[in-house]
Structure 1
Amino acid sequence: MISEPEQLLPGTRRALLHRIAVAQSEGRAPSLVAAVQRQGQVVWSGSRSCVDGHAPDGDTQFRIGSLTKTFTAVLVLRLRDEGLLNLDDPLEKHLPGTDVGDITVHQLLGHSAGLAAESPGPWWERTPGALRPELPDVLGEQTRMHVPGHRFHYSNPGYTLLGSLVEQVRGMSWEQALRNEILEPLGMHRTSLQPEAPHAGGWAVHPWADVMLPEPAEDLGLMAPAGQLWSTTNDLLRFAAFLMEGDDRVLCADSVEEMRKPSAPTGPGDWQSGYGLGLQLARDGDRTLFGHTGSLPGFLATLWISAEDDVAAVALTNTTAGLAIGEVAAELVGIVAEAEPRVPEPWRPLTESEVDTDLLALTGPWYWGTRANVLRLTPGGGLEIAPMRGAGRGARFVPGGDGTWTGLDGYYAGEILRVVRNDDGSVNHLDLGSFVFTREPYDPAAAVPGGVDASGWRGLGD
């Protein structure tokens, strides 16, 4: 049983407050609110404001922009898990008449469909959605910027198509599906399409003077699935907990884990970021983060999660530009993870029902040629193979039910591991995607491709 996380130390809380205070001051933001969650529980929150006594709290709504895309992606994956569509399906199969029907659902989710980044016509984020009443108005005439599937190219219209796909397959509005299938089950009662008091107003701050201008808050219409939502730090941390562990009422753990696997090639030289299925991926030093950023005129938002540290941070502000809110949220995660590292759970042995003596006999050293590897038994009848020393090709495997195991990750993801036995039932070797692993380096008794020199190992001749 996982114990409740301890409250943060005073020094950690001071560092978190200092970070957002510097961000609000130097970024010249009217207000900023942030919160941190560890092991699924909120352990810190803080805010700053230019108006004394009116700082926002965890219940104050801000517009979250493209964080909305993650919610849309969850709705699409629910349809996949229910067998109503496949991610490799062409869009035309479920949403005919778009003129881009050959692109796949997977490509839309991962921004590799090659569509334009923005909708044509007046700046869609600052104009009413009524100006774009139909999908052709959202897509425009020049829909193709790149060959589908060949590269990552962020596309807001792409997520409009996904929202329309949800409506077509579900037979209800995107808003109703969102409320029924995500917001209500997760208790996100302060997340909505339109602002609900208390909420922040959106502002533009002059780049060269300390003066402000109010920004419009338009209803985006068909573009809503790409960036419409308003939310709070409390609600977004509930969403973060779901993205960490899954929730069978919404989406299972395997599917939310699938969301954070890279889905499209990155651009040249871009090794620090990527995109999964509705989730942005980023490297912050040695730490891997997943979540999403968001911006609309008057607002900036970021949710970052570190699965390894079991820490999530959300930061929201009501300014159009000038504050690197993504960096702030990443640093909040780092402050907690580094100042108060996660305490691991106590080691516990497998239960008797989890121990298979035949599998236990397979554990230990195995050699691919002369490269030493170790095979370990994992819970649930799984196996894990890893280099005995240094980096190399390691992977986890799950049982296939037919005496084989399938790779989950790494070089051997999707590859099949088989035990090849002699006529007497003893193990000859392991076959992993055609590679032979033997108990001894180039074991002459095993079926090593190319054979083994009969004279055996030798030293340097005199």
Structure 2
Amino acid sequence: MPELLASTAATMLARTARAQRDGRIPSLVAGVVRDGGLVWSAGRGDVTEPHTDVQYRLGSISKTVTAITVLRLRDEGLVDLDDQLDLHLPGTPLGDRTVGQLLAHLGGATSESPGSWWERSPGTTLEGLRLSEADVVLPAARRFHYSNTGFGLLGEMVARMRRSSWADVARNEVLEPLGMKRTTPRPSGSAAQGLAVHPWADVVQHEPEHDAVVMAPAGQLWATADDLARLATFLLGDTGGVLSPATVEEMTVPAGIDSASAGWSSYGLGVQVQREKGVTLVGHGGSMPGFLAGLWVDREEGTAALVLANATSGLDHGLTAALLADLRAAEPRIVDAWRPSAAPVPLELLGPWYWGPTPYVLRAIPGGLLHLGGLGRPGRSSRFRPGPDGTWIGLDGYFAGETLRLDATALNLATFIFTRTPYDPAAPVPGGVDDAGWHVP
């Protein structure tokens, strides 16, 4: 794969070096993915070479792997996202919350499991957690509330349905098929030591590391930069057959909005989604005592950036986004050439339509899709994919999931009737059309 220009690499190295020094990070590995693999990386501080083969703890990036194991069950027809947890994992106080709500942190589960803080304590089983009604802190689907507990429960559900440990399911169904052979539940081989740096002096202290057991799906995994780059290419569409590209795209659709964020920040299914300076980034951050990590992909540009650090605090969490911005500015993606393609519907159905007096336009767009949006002014807009019996199903925007029906005189969409002329009296306009028609009052 093509290497970056020397000037781009120098800019990224300078940015990474400053982040390691200013953040007082004992060791830091950063990398950029493009064209299906790692095209640039650097290790700063006390990093064993090759730096791309040193394990760091991923923290909550593990949740993305957990979500993949759940969605594999869904795609096999064994689980529905609307299933209540009790159907597959009975006996918890969150049994009436759905699988989809837990994946999107909309289940109202407590952020941390009860007992001693799980990130610095030896783990226990689900029974050992002794979950109670006190661990249900919000109503279902009321608001985004990040929950490690919820992902622990999802991992336990996967383990029981597969009749195996969550770690084995993750390894056999996700990690090994993707070639992530250096991603493990506990450190193995070359691995960084988790450290805390004193806030007022340049001294360090070891952080503890334990098997989190039932909470492992929330943050247990360790991985190298090479392996994390492979997870990035998965999120960019190279799924290796682990999930369909359509399911990966479903993961990236925002569900829960984090209203505490200063910017546009949300959560899909096992991934964070954020909008920054007009660019949508998908990925996840991670933290465990002694470790910080980040993986963010720009699906439009086909690029990703990652960072791994062995410090409890101090990392500039904007580093990955800044590296992607450096790459976008210095070496923007050269898009494929436009080429003619067959329209997915007859041409006479495309062009201007009117919702009442408001102009819209229906266009054919790449990928065999349709797009309906405002013409010359803002309006509700959505993309549509082919559905059964000549219908079209909304992919996003206001009409996501709604059915569009086309004929020569009207578009029927969620009871809205779009006509070829404003309030066409020959069309089935809801409420009818004034017999006087258009006139000067």
Distance 1:178 1:166 in 2: 10
Please tell me whether residue 327 in structure 1 is matched to residue 318 in structure 2. Answer: yes
Residue pair 2:43, 2:51 contacting (<8 A) in 1 also: yes
Please tell me whether residue 389 in structure 1 is matched to residue 376 in structure 2. Answer: yes
Please tell me whether residue 407 in structure 1 is matched to residue 394 in structure 2. Answer: yes
Q: Which of 348, 359, 369 lines up with 1:372 in the alignment? A: 359
Please tell me whether residue 288 in structure 1 is matched to residue 280 in structure 2. Answer: yes
Structure 1 match to 2:417: 436
Q: Normalising by structure 1, what TM-score? A: 0.90
Residue pair 2:93, 2:133 contacting (<8 A) in 1 also: no
Distance 2:225 2:130 in 1: 31
Q: Which of 95, 115, 119 lines up with 1:121 in the alignment? A: 115
C-alpha spacing 1:140/1:28, structure 2 compared with 1 (3 Å): farther
Please tell me whether residue 301 in structure 1 is matched to residue 293 in structure 2. Answer: yes
Secondary structure at the counterpart of residue 402 of structure 1:
helix
Please tell me whether residue 204 in structure 1 is matched to residue 191 in structure 2. Answer: no
Please tell me whether residue 310 in structure 1 is matched to residue 302 in structure 2. Answer: yes
For structure 1, the residue ranges without an aligned partner over 5 or more in a row are 421-426
Structure 1 match to 2:53: 59
Q: Deviations over 1:293-339 (max 9, x none)?
A: 11111110000111112110100000111223x31111111111222
Residue type of the partner of 1:171?
R
Secondary structure at the counterpart of residue 176 of structure 1:
helix
Structure 2 match to 1:71: 65
Task: Tell me whether 150-159 or 387-396 shows the greater mean CA deviation.
Answer: 387-396
Residue type of the partner of 2:163?
G
Distance 1:291 1:164 in 2: 23
Give the number of aligned pairs. 441
* CA positional deviation for 1:98: 2.1
Distance 1:146 1:433 in 2: 32
Q: Normalising by structure 2, what TM-score? A: 0.94
Please tell me whether residue 31 in structure 1 is matched to residue 12 in structure 2. Answer: no
Distance 1:389 1:173 in 2: 56
Distance 2:117 2:334 in 1: 48
Distance 1:108 1:144 in 2: 12
Secondary structure at the counterpart of residue 239 of structure 1:
helix
Distance 2:169 2:234 in 1: 17
Structure 2 match to 1:398: 385
Distance 1:81 1:226 in 2: 22
* CA positional deviation for 1:457: 4.1
C-alpha spacing 1:392/1:221, structure 2 compared with 1 (3 Å): same
Structure 2 match to 1:274: 266
Distance 2:393 2:331 in 1: 36
Residue pair 1:48, 1:56 contacting (<8 A) in 2 also: no
Distance 1:389 1:28 in 2: 52
Query: 1:238-257 counterparts in 2 under 5 A?
Result: 238-245=230-237, 247=239, 249-257=241-249
Structure 2 match to 1:98: 92
* CA positional deviation for 1:142: 2.1
Q: Deviations over 1:70-107 (max 9, x none)?
A: 10110001001101111111111111222332221112
C-alpha spacing 1:268/1:298, structure 2 compared with 1 (3 Å): closer
Residue pair 1:407, 1:414 contacting (<8 A) in 2 also: yes
For structure 2, the residue ranges without an aligned partner over 5 or more in a row are none
Residue pair 1:428, 1:447 contacting (<8 A) in 2 also: no
Q: Which of 67, 71, 80 lines up with 1:86 in the alignment? A: 80
Q: Deviations over 1:409-450 (max 9, x none)?
A: 111112222224xxxxxx222222222222223334433334
Task: Tell me whether 258-267 or 192-201 shows the greater mean CA deviation.
Answer: 258-267
* CA positional deviation for 1:247: 2.3
Secondary structure at the counterpart of residue 158 of structure 1:
helix
Secondary structure at the counterpart of residue 12 of structure 2:
helix
Residue type of the partner of 2:102?
L
Residue pair 1:34, 1:313 contacting (<8 A) in 2 also: yes
* CA positional deviation for 1:54: 4.3
Residue type of the partner of 1:443?
D
Residue type of the partner of 2:404?
L
* CA positional deviation for 1:138: 6.0
Secondary structure at the counterpart of residue 221 of structure 1:
coil
Residue type of the partner of 1:359?
P
Determine which structure has more spread, i.e. the larger CA radius of gyration.
1
Residue pair 1:289, 1:304 contacting (<8 A) in 2 also: yes
C-alpha spacing 1:387/1:38, structure 2 compared with 1 (3 Å): same
Task: Tell me whether 21-30 or 329-338 shows the greater mean CA deviation.
Answer: 329-338
Distance 2:367 2:254 in 1: 26
Please tell me whether residue 448 in structure 1 is matched to residue 440 in structure 2. Answer: no
Residue pair 2:384, 2:392 contacting (<8 A) in 1 also: yes
Task: Tell me whether 438-447 or 72-81 shows the greater mean CA deviation.
Answer: 438-447
Distance 1:453 1:127 in 2: 72
Distance 1:54 1:235 in 2: 16
Residue pair 2:263, 2:276 contacting (<8 A) in 1 also: no
Structure 2 match to 1:235: 227
Task: Tell me whether 145-154 or 378-387 shows the greater mean CA deviation.
Answer: 378-387
C-alpha spacing 1:274/1:60, structure 2 compared with 1 (3 Å): same
Residue pair 1:138, 1:157 contacting (<8 A) in 2 also: no
C-alpha spacing 1:20/1:448, structure 2 compared with 1 (3 Å): same
Task: Tell me whether 340-349 or 358-367 shows the greater mean CA deviation.
Answer: 358-367
Secondary structure at the counterpart of residue 388 of structure 2:
coil
Secondary structure at the counterpart of residue 216 of structure 1:
coil
| Percent of paired sites with the same residue | 51
Residue type of the partner of 1:436?
I
Residue pair 1:116, 1:144 contacting (<8 A) in 2 also: yes
Residue pair 2:288, 2:312 contacting (<8 A) in 1 also: yes
Structure 2 match to 1:424: none
